[in-house]
Amino acid sequence: MTSPTFITVLGAGSWGTALAIVLAQNGHTVRLWARDAGLAARSEQDRINARYLPDCTFPPSLTITSDLDTALQRANQIWLVLPTKALAEFLSAHAAKFPPQAIIVNASKGFEQGTGRQISQMVSALFSSQAFVAVSGPTFAHEVATGKPSAITVASQDTGAAEVIAATLRNATLRTYPTHDVIGVEIAGGLKNVLAIAAGVADGFGFGANA
């Protein structure tokens, strides 16, 4: 018999909320953690995150809380969807609370300020014995949450963990593609926004498509 999947999503911004909604729609029990207690209470009562995804209703199996201990209880997957600039400090402060059997999934983009470390490097320094998976792709939170066709790459050195997360996330409108290239996926995700800004600047100056 397959064990039930209890998923913790850390970070209740637009992307964290979208992922939590999809994971709950896929039949999993999901706890979404918000740093802001007021946001968590309002969202749990209203069954929407009015601040970030106001037209996306929470499925019944999704709850939101500002209590980290409650959010992490029984988790066998922990999804990191926090601002990268705050991630190292958060992990250092709360690593002892993470269930040791949980797969750690990074869905944030970027590099550590000051050191340039990738998120996989931050995580491995604290959770060397736990499986790590990075997910990234050309996705917009609202489109994923509302079932628009999307695709995400799922990267891990642990083939089994990558397959588990790919299966957890995929559905009729969201395709997942497992790979071993964690470094490539994280670098591409971290540079995406920089390249998008540069492309916008070039377009604004009228440099044309070749630029």
Catalytic-labelled residue, pool 85, 97, 109, 192: 192
Q: Which residues of 2-40 are buried (b: 16+ CB within 10 A; e: fewer)?
A: eeebbbbbbbbbbbbbbbbbbbbbbebbbbbbbeeeebb
Length of the chain: 211
Q: Is 148 a residue of the active site?
A: no
Could you tell me which residues come within 8 angstroms of residue 122 by beta carbon, excluding any fewer than 6 positions away?
A: 87, 88, 91, 112
State how far the Cα of 148 lies from the Cα of 173, in Å rounded to an integer: 6
How many C-beta neighbours within 10 Å does residue 113 have? Answer: 11
How many C-beta neighbours within 10 Å does residue 130 have? Answer: 18
CB–CB of 193/109 below 8 Å? Answer: yes
Strand, coil or helix: 26 = coil
Helix residue ranges, H only, 26-127: 37-46, 68-72, 84-94, 119-126
Q: Which residues are catalytic?
A: 192
